[in-house]
Amino acid sequence: MKKLSLTILALVLGTAVFAQNTVPSIKGNSVITYTYTQDGQDLSLTLTFSSLGDPIKIDWNIEGVGSGNYEMSPKALESGKGMVITAAEPDQLTKLPSYQTVACISKEAFANMVKTQSFEFDDLKYTVKKDDSGTIKLNGKPLDVYHAIATNGKGEMWILNNPDFPLVCKTKDNAQGVDIALVSIK
């Protein structure tokens, strides 16, 4: 009986560990691919984080549009208040202001989201929705994400549960007129 109990306990614990959602890390040389949707047209957007230092350097490429580079300050990652999601000028280095991020919300916004189930970003207040209807998968495995909805009902974000780099995995009805959906992280 003791062996049977231990076997059942091991199966339950093993299933619980297996069922956990994935949280990939974002590090230097990470390559993140999104589907970039603007005006009903889907394009491939690739972001390569060539450096997570000071500044954070991000190379971007949008199929059929062009490519360029962003420089984001560590301060933006810490306490930025908004995210750039539209394409910058091709073949240019775009230095973002210290309040603007690329592909993520700030660590401060993330901490507020976890603590209060709400946060402000891009001049919108978001609240966390507690359903699973918007599950985001990567390589067939569900990601551990927060689903946040703008309180005015115009905009949604799915944010990776990663306090070090709260990656935006998906947007819907974004106020900037562009939506993204995560395809891969390498």
Residue spans of the domains in the chain: they are: 23-185
- Give the pLDDT band of residue 49 (cuts 50, 70, 90): very high
User: Tokens 């995210």 label which residue?
Assistant: 83
Cβ(142)–Cβ(49) below 8 Å: no
- CA 165, CA 105: separation in Å to the nearest integer? 8
Query: Rounded to the nearest 10 degrees, how much is the dihedral formed by the CA atoms of 46, 24, 134, 117?
Result: -110
114-126, pLDDT tens digit by residue? 999 999 999 999 9
155-179, pLDDT tens digit by residue? 999 999 999 999 999 999 988 889 9
58-91, pLDDT tens digit by residue? 999 999 899 999 999 999 999 999 999 888 889 9
More confident residue, 139 or 50: 50
- CA 139, CA 20: separation in Å to the nearest integer? 14
129-157, pLDDT tens digit by residue? 876 655 889 988 999 999 999 998 789 99
Question: What would the two tokens of residue 184 be?
Answer: 């891969």
Percent over 90 (pLDDT), the chain:
70
Number of other residues whose CB lies within 10 A of the CB of residue 84? 20
Number of other residues whose CB lies within 10 A of the CB of residue 5? 9
